Structures are given as C-alpha cells and as structure tokens.
Structure 1
Amino acid sequence: MKNTSVALPIKRQRSLLCSPLIGTILVSAAFFIASALIVIDHKQFPNLRAILVQKSPELRKPEAMQVSPINICENQCIRDGSEALPKGIVSKTSDLEMRPLWGPRKKRKNPKSPMSLLAMAVGMKQKANVNEMIKKFPSDDFVIMLFHYDGIVDEWKDLEWSSRAIHLSAIRQTKWWFAKRFLHPDVVSEYAYIFLWDEDLGVQNFDAGRYVSIMRNEGLHISQPALDPEKSEVHHELTTRENGSTVHRRIERMSRSRKQCYWNSTDPPCTGWVEMMAPVFSKEAWRCVWYMIQNDLIHAWGLDMQLGYCAQGNRTQYIGIVDSEYVVHYGIPTLGDSSQNKTNSESSTESSSKETVPLESKHTDIRAEVRKQSFNELETFKRRWRKAVQEDECWVDPYNQH
C-alpha cells in the first residue's frame, strides 16, 4: 500500500486577528480610547482620575499625567482684542443705521434688498445741488452720510432728508480723509455698494436703483457713471463699448495721459481704472481700497491707477463705466477755492457764502497750493508703492507691472 501525500497549499490561511494591518488598527483604537479617558472633562467625571490612580499606582508620577489633549481652539479665527470674550458675544461688524430710543425700528419696504451707502464731502455753497443729488437715492435703499468740510451743519436741517442722514464735520478735509477715518470696512460691511462722490455732479439723467442693478448684473466691483461729454470736461469721449452693453471697460485711442491704447490694452489708464470724483465700490472692493488709502495722503492722487488690485479678479472685467446712467461733472472748485481769499468786507456782500473757515492771506492762491499738494502726494504714493513691492517678498504682482 502506497503512502499518499496531500500537497498542502504554500500559503496558509491566517486569522484576521493576526493580520498586521488589523492589529495595528486595534492597538491604535485602544490607545485612543485610553487617552480619551485620561483627558476627559473632569467636570463630568470628577472621580475618574482617583479611580485610575487607585488601580494603577504608577499614574501617581507627575510625568504620567502629562498627556496634552488636542486643543480644538487653536485654529479658530480670533479677532484682535476679543480674546477675552466668548466667541458668541463678539459683534464683528457695524452699520450706520440710526436706532430709535424706544419701540421697534422702521421697517423697510423690501428688507431682502441690500442697502447701499452714499457718502459725500459737502459745503454750503453746493447745498442746492447736493439736495438734488440725494433725492436721486431712495431712502429705503440708501444710507446718506455727509462730510461737512466747512463746519456748517445746522443749516442743512431744513431739508426733508437731513434728519435721517449721518452728519460729520471737520474743517477743510477731503472726502478721502473722512473715508479713511469713518468708513472702515467693518463699519460699512452691511452695505452692498459704497458711493463716494463729489458734491458738484449733475444727476438729471441718473437713476441710482438702475445703476446698482447694472453693477450687479455686469459683475462690476468698481465703477463710475459716464460723464456727459457735451456738458463737462470729460475724458471719456475717447472710450467705446461693445454693442448692446451698458458699460465700457476700454479706451481705444489716445488716453488723457497721452498713452496709446488699443483694443487689447490691459493696464491703466487704458482699462481697469475710474475717475475719482464719482467712484462706486462693492463692499468687497472697498475692504481692499480702504487699506490702500494712505492715512496722511488726503487727496488720493495715484489711487485710481492701482484700483485694479482691488477689483476682486480681472481688472479688465470687473472695473467699468456705466454709460446708460450718466452724470455731469460741473467741475466747480469748492474745497480750496481761491474765492476764500476775499476780505471780510467783500465776503459779507455775498449772502450765499457762509464759510466758517478762517480766511487765508490774500496773497496765497489756495487752489494752486492744493493742486501742488496733490501732485506731491501722487509722487509720495508712487514711491511708497514701489518700496512696498520691493520689501514684500511674499507678494506676487498678478499684472506683472514693473
């Protein structure tokens, strides 16, 4: 009788518990559970540590209990100054809406429609024109904020909308000085668009509601209304727009800076910029622009050429001029007007002039000095920009400007 041998398989079946992978997982799970028990909240299980020490005397050693739990709070975004407060009580933003001393606040007709802000630097000489401008901004959709550069506030009280407007007064300050100090992004974050306008604009052919709608539909973050070329000194007669569009974004011929522009130009002043007398910013763009406004450069010259960095993307697409809702720029010199040099006797004959600003020497051409200061600030801003670019090793210029 021959012995028969059975060929056993070379690989033996192993128990699942013996698998290195499964074993590692089980050991890790056991370690995790044990660690969780050690660092568990003592408020819920106050006697747990005593029980563990009684069962395992070696845990009495200080180094045995130095198990660092994972701090789930380390990655939370805590705003500077609020570290001492519970997160739920921190109010991160604000707005300019007035609140009643008692009772419910007045309800808006369309509460789902976001509010916007109109802010202007104004003086008494332009009171009538400012009144006409503000009438174009519906009270249910716009908050009005006036910066009084001549110090006169009470004489605006006779206007119907004055009581709901925010009035700020600082003698002979520009709208950019006011904006840097009173329009912090966290304060105006509730407003969809921020209109930062001059006081000498004609708005007979302007509709604020339609303008906001066009900005939203076109995806614009920075814009301005077109200026009427027949009634004002305008540079935009050189601009063109695509057929059927309500906005234009390019200058196709010689720009006012004498730079030759073409249909494919991608840098200012051919595209990606707006004039500074009537700019409109989305709240996202304004958060960027506010940081770019220099605290001591109150004329903001040079800012227009760099607005593209705040356009939230492609500056050739998200910065534009709205043609269908245009305004007229009268170009009336008010802040820094040379007429302020008149003597007291000459000024007293003009009933419409009620300046409270101290008169300068009659030998000083104030308007010329203002323009000189503006040019000086332009050069200062350019130097600061170049210096900032050179010193910031982490910043990458998306437009590769040199």
Structure 2
Amino acid sequence: MKQLPFMGIICTVMLFIVYRTTNYQFRQTEIDKRLNPFYPWKDTGVVSTTLDSLPRGIIQARSDLELKPLWSKSSSKSKVNVSSSHNLLAIPVGIKQKSNVDDIVQKFLSENFTIMLFHYDGNVDGWRDLEWSKKAIHIVAHNQTKWWFAKRFLHPAVVSLYDYIFLWDEDLGVENFHPGRYLKIVKSEGLEISQPALGPNSTEIHHKITARVRTNKFHRRIWDVRGSAKCTEDSKGPPCTGFVEGMAPVFSRSAWHCAWHLIQNDLIHGWGMDMKLGYCAQGDPSKNVGVVDSEYIVHKGIQTLGGASRKASSPEELTKKHTVDMRVEVRRQSTSELQIFKKRWEQAVEEDKDWVDPFIRKQRQAVQDDDKNWVDPLTRKRKRTRQQNQRLHI
C-alpha cells in the first residue's frame, strides 16, 4: 500500500514523457513537411528517417531532363558539355499534328530549350525523321492528357533546373511568336504565370482576357461589362484578372512547384484548374499573372485526343448506335471532373482554418488602408485561437 503514491508519481511522469515525445514528433513532422515540400511523408507512409543511413553530402535532391552521353569522346577526364538550356517546352503530341508541332519546336530550338514530347497516340517512330527528335525527351502513354503526363513526369524536383516551363497544346500557331522576346517581357514584368495572347484568327476565344490587345505589350486584367462575366474595377479574380487559360500556360520555377501540387492525380482533364492557377502566382495574382500581347499565338482548336467517331466494337453498342462519338464521352468526363474538382476545393478551404484567400486578402488590405482602425475579424479570431493553443502547451 505504501508503494501506491510512488507508483502514481511514476505513472504521471511517464504520461508526461509520452505527451512531450508525441508533441515533439508532431512538431518535427510539420517541420519536415515545410522543409521537404516535394516529399509528402504522411501521404506515402514514408518517414523522414529513411535517408538517415546515407551520409548527408551524398544526397542529390535535384535532377533534370538533360540527356547524358554514354561515353566521352576525349580520353581525358574532361567535363562533359552541358546544355545551356534553362527552359523547358513540354507538348502532348499525336502524329496527325506532326507538321504543326515541328513549326512550334523550331521556334524554341533557336533559344536552346529542352524539348519534351508526350505521345498520346503511341507513335514515336513517325518522328524520327526530324533532326531535333533524337535530342528530345519522348514519353509514351496511350490516350492520356497533358495534365496526366505533367503530374507524372514533370515533378518539381526533376524540372528544378529550368527557369520557365512551357506546357503547351499541339494545335497552336506560332508565326507571330518568339520565345526569347517573350521571356524578356515576362522577366521584366515579374510574371510568374503567363501566356501569349490569342490572335484574331484563333478558332475559339473562351475568355476575353486571353484575346490580344494590339496596342499593348502585355496586360494583366480586362474591363468588360458585357456578358455573364462582367469585369469592372471591383473585379479581383478570374477571369478578369489573375488568369491564364490551359492551352498555353507558362510557369516560373516557383509557380510550377505550386501548380504541380494543384494538379489532381486522378482528374486527368484539368478542367477548372485554370481558375485556380492564380493561387500559385507567388504573390499578388493581379500583378504576377499576365497575358503577353506583343508575342501572340493562334489557337486552332483542333480536337484530336480521343479521336473522331469510331465504329461500334460490341453487340451492345450495335443495338444502340452504329458509331460511338468519343469526343462526346471526353466532354462528359471533363464536365464530371470539373464538378469533382470544385467540390474538393471547397472542402479543402473549409477544412484549412489557417488558409487566407490571397484574392480576398487584397480587398481586405484596401479596406484597412482606408480605415486605419479596422481589424479583419477573421484575423482577430485566428490570433485568439493561436493564443489559446499556446497557453495550453505551456
């Protein structure tokens, strides 16, 4: 009986140690996640100690897409020449658009871009007669979109060598586009996410902000009171400002790091993502996202992924129709994925209590600048919550 108080003290001490250890592990995990954004340990089940068996100096966290020779022509141990390219052009391609893709690539070769082709039709041999093809990176997967390819083959750690990443469609006309001049504008204006404007001969212009303004070098927003999406001085977000479309986006290295994480692994069409790309602008989307007018392209709107209508391949299909329009099926899947993406975004915003919408933050800052005594109630509430949590940990 005399040992009971002593055992109680021991149990209390043990519980305290367990609590402190658990709390330390939690904090360490959070630090690991911040310091190693490319490796989501919690999601993969891999713990941060998996590299402890290696000497720290041997770890190479970065890679690139540069081709390496199997041998050196020189007998001496001279350094292998490394391409001076620091920018990447990645395009999903089918053999039917070979001529147009060749026109695009020829423009970028003059600026020493690394070229990466995503072959969604499986035909790689048909490109071998092009001189630049042997130096390009070829990835093959049947009937996959460029977002599917990008998520799997453009990991931020792999493309961290490149200053800018052009993730373009194959049906773009580049007669009036020069990548070197384009990048000079992007760099001088601090555009983290951009696209060339669409010329007047483009088949479809879905959002007016992407249309070329002949008198401008570039623009970041539009004013338009016509149609359902009215863009006024009070408009603070897409598609009036902070917006580029999905057919020809250009990302800085930092913006791509964010955009890669935004791409959903299971939603391959990427519908709706263009409305959220501004959140990856590394700052104010209304300033860091823009459309370049002086270097513009033509969107031809050629639909190839999924192919044209095909003959029915089963008795069940024959009883319904003689042909199956795969483009209709692609559109139906795209629309379904759009709704899923919207719901995921809404749920993520609801669950992350510390997240502040940068588009809304700008509006709040404007109000605060006008009223020096005004305090954002959301900020006040979160500050109070943090103070309460800190007191609990003391």
What RMSD, in angstroms, separates the aligned Cα atoms of the two structures? 2.5
Compare the two structures and name the one with the higher helix fraction. Answer: 2
Instruction: Answer yes or no: is 1:106 the counterpart of 2:75.
Output: no
Match of 2:329 among 366, 369, 376: 369
User: Are the equivalent residues in 2 in contact too, given 1:247–1:320 (CA < 8 A)?
Assistant: yes
**Equivalence for 1:97:** 66
Aligned equivalent of 1:51: none
The aligned residue for residue 285 of structure 2 is 315
Q: Give the counterpart letter for 2:222 in structure 1.
A: I
| Larger displacement relative to structure 2 (161-170 or 132-141) | 132-141
- Deviation digits for residues 156-183 of structure 1 (CA, Å, limit 9, x no counterpart): 1000100000000000000000000000
Distance 1:325 1:96, change over 3 A: same
Q: 163, 166, 181: which is aligned to 1:210? A: 181
Change (3 A) 1:128 1:267: same
Distance across 2 between alignment mates of 1:265 and 1:240: 18
Task: Please list every run of 5 or more consecutive structure 2 residues that lacks an aligned counterpart in the other structure.
Answer: 1-27, 40-47, 73-78, 314-320, 362-394
Q: Among 129, 135, 152, which residue is 2:123 paired with?
A: 152
* 1:224 equivalenced with 2:224 (yes/no): no
CA distance in 1, matches of 2:218, 2:226: 18
Q: How does 1:252-331 map to 2 (within 5 A)?
A: 252-254=223-225, 258-331=228-301
**Which shifted more, 223-232 or 290-299?**
223-232
TM-score scaled by structure 1? 0.71
- Contact 1:222–1:319 at 8 Å: present in 2 too? yes
SS in 2 for 1:250: coil
- Contact between 1:238 and 1:254, CA under 8 Å: does it hold in 2? no
Alpha carbons of structure 1 residues 248 and 95: separation in structure 2 relative to 1, 3 Å: same
Question: Deviation of residue 332 (structure 1)?
Answer: 0.6
Q: How far did residue 269 of structure 1 move?
A: 1.0
Letter in 1 for 2:179: A
SS of 1:265's partner is coil
Whether 1:137 and 2:97 are equivalent positions in the alignment is no
**Contact persistence 2:127–2:133 (CA under 8 A):** yes
Instruction: Return the offset for 1:393.
Output: 2.3
Secondary structure in structure 2 of the residue aligned to 1:327: strand
Shift of 1:231: 3.9
Q: Report deviation, 1:237.
A: 5.2
Q: Is the CA contact 1:185–1:290 (under 8 Å) kept in the aligned structure 2?
A: yes
Aligned residue for 1:83?
A: 52
CA contact (8 A) 1:250 1:263 kept: no
Amino acid at match of 1:287: H
Q: CA 1:376/1:191 → structure 2, altered by over 3 Å: closer, same or farther?
A: same
User: Do the aligned residues in 2 keep the contact of 1:255 with 1:269 (CA within 8 Å)?
Assistant: no
Equivalent in the alignment of 2:151? 180
Q: Which residue of 1 aligns with 2:136?
A: 165
1:123 aligns with 2:94: yes
- With over 3 angstroms needed to count, the CA separation of the structure-2 counterparts of 1:287 and 1:163, relative to structure 1, is same
Instruction: Select 1:399's aligned residue among 347, 351, 359.
Output: 359
> Could you tell me which amino acid in structure 2 is paired with residue 96 of structure 1?
L
Question: Structure 1 342/205 Cα, relative in aligned 2: closer, same or farther at 3 Å?
Answer: farther
SS in 1 for 2:183: helix
Change (3 A) 1:398 1:107: closer
* Structure showing greater Rg: 1
Distance in 1 of aligned mates of 2:285 and 2:238: 9
Between the aligned partners of 2:234 and 2:360, the Cα distance in structure 1 is 16
> Following the alignment from structure 2 to structure 1, what is the Cα–Cα distance between the partners of residues 147 and 345?
18
Distance of aligned partners of 1:139 and 1:91 in 2 relative to their CA distance in 1, 3 Å threshold = farther
- Report how far residue 398 of structure 1 moved: 2.4
Q: For residue 85 of structure 1, report the CA deviation from its aligned partner.
A: 1.6
Residues 239 and 152 of structure 1, relative CA distance in 2, 3 Å threshold: closer
Preserved CA contact (<8 Å) 1:338 1:365 = yes
Say if 1:228 and 1:234, in contact at 8 Å, map to a contact too. no
Partner deviation per Cα, 1:77-120 (whole Å, 9 max, x = no partner): 67744222222111011000001111253355xx4xx6100001
Distance 1:310 1:238 in 2: 18
Q: Using the alignment, how far apart are the partners of 2:71 and 2:111 within structure 1? A: 21
Q: 2:111·2:180 contact (CA, 8 Å) conserved in 1?
A: no
Query: What SS does structure 1 have at the residue aligned with 2:332?
Result: helix
- Measure how far apart 1:395 and its partner are: 2.0
| Contact 1:255–1:270 (Cα < 8 Å) also in 2 | no
Q: Distance in 2 between matches of 1:84 and 1:289?
A: 32
The share of aligned pairs that are identical, in percent, is 56
1:36 aligns with none
> In the alignment, is residue 386 of structure 1 matched against residue 346 of structure 2?
yes
Counterpart of 1:281 in 2: which secondary structure? strand
Deviation at 1:216, TM superposition (A): 0.6
CA contact (8 A) 1:238 1:253 kept: no
Pairs aligned (count): 306
1:199 aligns with 2:174: no
Q: What residue identity is the alignment partner of 1:373?
A: Q
Offset at residue 338 of structure 1 (A): 2.0
